[in-house]
Structures are given as C-alpha cells and as structure tokens.
Chains A and B, each alone.
Chain A
Amino acid sequence: MASISEGETTPAAGPATAKGPLIYRQSIFTRLTHWLWALALFFLLLSGLQIFNAHPALYIGQESGFSYDNAVLRMQAENAPDGPRGFTTILGQKFDTTGLFALSGGEARPSYRGFPAWATIPSFQDLATGRVVHFFFAWILVGALAIWAVASLANGHLWRDVILKPRDLRALPRDIVAHLRFRFTHGRSYSPLQKAAYFGVFFVLFPLIILTGLTMSPGMDAAWPWLLDLFGGRQTARTIHFIVMALLVLFFVVHIVMVVLAGPLNELRSMITGYYRAGPEAEREETTNG
C-alpha cells in the first residue's frame, strides 16, 4: 500500500489541482495508537459502566455516606403508585429516567440497574468480568499513550499538531466561528480548534482519567498518597473519573461528526494509510510554511 500511495504523491509536485495534493499526514505511530485507543476506549467505556452499576452512586469526599448524604449522583428504582420507576438524582434534582437509567429492559423483563444492558460488557450484571476487561484495556490505553508520547516527541507531531502555541490561541476565536459556519481548512497542519481539542484530550482528559483511576486503587494510594490530596479523596476521584468519561464520550461524538463533515473517506484513509487529500489551499500553506 505504501508504494502505491507514494506514486500518488507525484501530482503534488505538478500544478495545483482543484482537489489539492495528496500529502503524508499521519505517521505509523499516530495511526497505530489511534486505533489502539479506539478499541481500548470502546471496551473501557462499556466495562466501566458495568463497574459503575455495581454501586450506581457517586460521592464527594473520602468515603460514601450511608448515614449522611454526600452523593452527587444516584440511580435508584422506587415504587411509584403505577408500578416501579427508575430515578436518577443529580445534585439533589430528581429525574424520572425509566427505560434508560435505574430501570430498563421494558415491562416484560424489568431490570433494576444503573446503565441498561446494551451499554455494559457483559450485558448482564457481572462486576468481576467488567473489572477483567477494564484493567486489560486500561493497560492498552496507557501503553499506547507511552508509545505515542515517545514517537510524537521524536517525530515532531506533538509540537507541530498538539501543543497549543500563542499563535494558535490568537487564531482560536476566528477558527471557532469558521467551524460554526462549517468552513473547514484541509491543510497539512491542524486548525487551532482541532489542536485545542487534541491538547485537551492528551493533556487534560487522559491524565485525569488515568490518575483518578489509580486513586481508586488502595495499593496506589499507599504508593502515591498525594493522589488522595490532589483529587480530594477516593470517592471524589471516582466522581471525576465518571465526569471525564462523559467528556471523552462527548469528544468522540464531536470527533465522528467532524470526520463525517470533513470527508469521511479522506479522513479514514489518512488514519489508515497516512495519506490525506489536502484542499487546494494546502499548496499555498506548504510553500509559505517553507
């Protein structure tokens, strides 16, 4: 495949076509780790919801209040006059979430669980298996991150495409407006908003979800007691872990929408073969950037 693609790069040397040149955009390390994360995050999410279901409540502090209330989220089924209903309480606000949270599975086979069967691995209640799956893919996530960090530091991807520079921050408002008007640039380099999104994932969300995950380990709390102080207790860490999960799901949704809007085949190709069909403006960019 590589040799075919290289053959295709020749138009780049010729006059600019309406389509723009085919450029080598993603290194093998970026592509490999991208798909490892896609796989790992899929299993981490669904096994994580399985683990959450073993105790579908989140708290603030070191411990879980049973004789007092320090919960910020709770999924609980209750008996209502017309039969059982599922309720989700967030910061004291109670919502009827029958069919989705706390009670799902329909009237024929009601299931009293936090997240519904289709959102967990395995689909039935099985904390032990959820933990086996979760910890395996946690190692994959962290291993891929280590490979990516070393490679991206060496090949410049980190500095070029992910680290936000003052120039990017200045251009950010205009880029946000451009995105809101569905005007995307298709150059070699990432747009400021794109950089900001990946910067947020690599420097905020990934470190947070890994460190809050470790804070839930009593073994790691003995090794690194500062984890408990950093996050304000094991139960707060568990709550942050959950919130970061939700933010990663949000990132995934936006990521998929952007891929579809920007040209799904071209975007998928660049993440599989590394080659990306740039827009006509890319020619200019490549020359000005030298």
Chain B
Amino acid sequence: MADLILNRRRLIGLGAASASSLVLAGCDQFDFLGRRNDPVRDFLERANELTYAAQRALVGDQALAREYAESEIRQGQRPNGSTDPRGTNAEYLALEQGGFAGYKLRITGLVEQEREFTLAELRNMPARTQITRHDCVEGWSCIAKWTGTPLGAVLDQARLKPGARFLVYHCYDTMGGGLSKPEPYYESSDLIDAYHPQTILAYGLNGQALPVENGAPVRVRIERALGYKQAKYVHTIEVVDSFALFGSGKGGYWEDHGYDWYGGI
C-alpha cells in the first residue's frame, strides 16, 4: 500500500512537473500549429465547421445585422487589404480612367442565363442603403453607409440552376507579390448569405460613389460576416456547386492562407 501511495505521489509530481515545464519552456513548441497542413491543426479547424453549423441553426436566415443611425457615422470607412489595383491590373486601370463606363459585372456558372450588368444598369435597379458596422478580422470595427443593389435581385435575373450551392466572387485585385507570386483575390459564400436581405453589390459609400480604396466600382457587402468576406473590385460572380477548383480550394484568398471560410465569428 505504501508503494501504491508513493506511486500515486510520484504520478502527481510528474504531472505537475511536466505541466510547469510546458509553461516555462514558452510557446514555440506549439508553432507547428501554424503549418497549414499539420494534422493537429486540421483537427482543431473542424471546430470552425461546428461554429458554422451552430450559427446557421441559431441565426435566422433573415436575421438582420444591426443598422445604425446617421449620427453614428463618425469617420470615413477605413480601407484595408488591397487599396489600389490600378498599378497591377491594366484592365482595371483602363476601366477606372473611363469612369467605369466600360465596367460589366458578369454572372456565370450554374445559371439558366449568363448575364452582364453595367454599372448604370445596377444603379437603375431597386437599391438598398444601410448603415452597418464593418468588423475586420484583426479586431477593429468601422461604421459606414453602404448603397447597392440587392444581390438576390441580380441572381434572380440569371436564375440559378438546381445544384447551385455557392457563389464565387472574382476580383480585379491581387494579393501577395514580392517573394510570393501575386494571387488574385476571390471570395465565396453560401446561398443563404447571397440571398440575405442586407447582401448588396455596393456602389455607394457614405453618400458618394464607392472610392477605389474601398473597392470601386462594386464590392460585396455580406453584413453578418467579417471584413475579408466583403470582396472588393468584383468583376464576376460564378455560381458553383463546389469551390474546390478555385485557388487552393478553401473558398477564398484568406481562406487559402489559413482563415476560416464562414467568417461569421
């Protein structure tokens, strides 16, 4: 019995010693979690699927993001990510120099009829204006007034085919560069977010035409998601049943770099 007690004491002592060494040795021993294909990281990432499922169950499909009063707009919308594709994309530069008169938004993929909309055509459709809070994944928030065409109305004109599950938003801007190869920015969403009443193709910001630094001529607003889901400089919306074939297959530029696809938390 004495042996057993000793064993148990030794066990407890060992446990305490290993726990304290874990703390004292610092945290670079968890740096392996930063490797994008690490199996432990893959396992931890599955919590994101749980979060997505839980929020889809808990958040009504039509539940609205908070809308604010005019008086709560106290500053300009803070630009972030890429803020000027003119230097890297000649086609975009030409469109911008022409006041985006030649811009066309294309709806392609699993639709009955592929469609193109000029900026003027989008502006002539019923518009929605909303004062909402932009939440960046970094942690900051910024309130601004967005005006645009509800995405659902645009999709209805193209009529989705059965089997359509996601929208992929293709953009003019690229990310990276320098040592890494520039990658085109893209994003994706499910159809619940696409048809949400506050999801708009925004062409106006705080009562003005959307500036280049904030995504001119058209950016997506998905108000119940973080900033990186609000794709800027959108030129094509592709209706798909899977986004596995785009980029690295995770559904967006930031998703391909380790961020969660849902982006609702």
In the complex, per-residue mask of A34-76: 1 if CB is within 8 Å of any chain B CB, else 0 = 0000000010001000011011010100111111100000000
Check: A222 CB closer than 8 A to any chain B CB. Answer: yes
Distance (whole angstroms) from the CB of B38 to the closest CB of chain A: 9
C-alpha spacing A235/B76, complex, angstroms? 17
B-facing residues in A206-257 (Cβ within 8 Å): 216-223, 225, 228, 234-235, 238
A273 with B8, Cβ < 8 A, contacts A119-B27, A222-B224 known: yes
Distance (whole angstroms) from the CB of A223 to the closest CB of chain B: 4
B-facing residues in A112-148 (Cβ within 8 Å): 117-124, 126-129, 131-133, 135-136, 138-139
C-alpha spacing A46/B259, complex, angstroms? 18
Q: Chain A residues near B140 (CB, 8 Å)?
A: 55, 57, 59, 63-64, 235
Distance (whole angstroms) from the CB of A281 to the closest CB of chain B: 23
C-alpha spacing A166/B68, complex, angstroms? 44
Classify chain B: how many residues form its interface, as a range: 35 or more
Chain B residue at smallest Cβ distance from A229: B66
Distance (whole angstroms) from the CB of B96 to the closest CB of chain A: 25
Binding site for A on B (CB under 8 A): 1, 4, 8-9, 11-13, 15-16, 23, 26-28, 30-31, 33-34, 41, 44-45, 47-48, 50-51, 55, 58-60, 63-66, 68, 72, 74-76, 78, 133, 135-143, 223-226, 254, 257-260, 262, 264-265
Chain B residue at smallest Cβ distance from A223: B59
Q: Chain B residues near A177 (CB, 8 Å)?
A: none
Q: Chain A residues near B68 (CB, 8 Å)?
A: 62
Q: Chain A residues near B50 (CB, 8 Å)?
A: 139
Q: Chain B residues near A126 (CB, 8 Å)?
A: 34, 258
5 pairs of residues in contact across A and B, judged by CB atoms under 8 Å = A117-B28, A129-B34, A132-B47, A220-B264, A222-B60
Say yes or no: A132 contacts B44, CB within 8 Å.
yes
Count chain A residues whose beta carbon lies closer than 8 angstroms to a beta carbon of B.
Answer: 56
Q: Chain A residues near B23 (CB, 8 Å)?
A: 42
Q: Chain A residues near B137 (CB, 8 Å)?
A: 54, 127, 131
A268 with B12, Cβ < 8 A, contacts A63-B74, A133-B44, A223-B58 known: yes
Q: Chain A residues near B8 (CB, 8 Å)?
A: 1, 269, 273
Chain A residue at smallest Cβ distance from B31: A122
A220 with B55, Cβ < 8 A, contacts A123-B26, A235-B141 known: yes
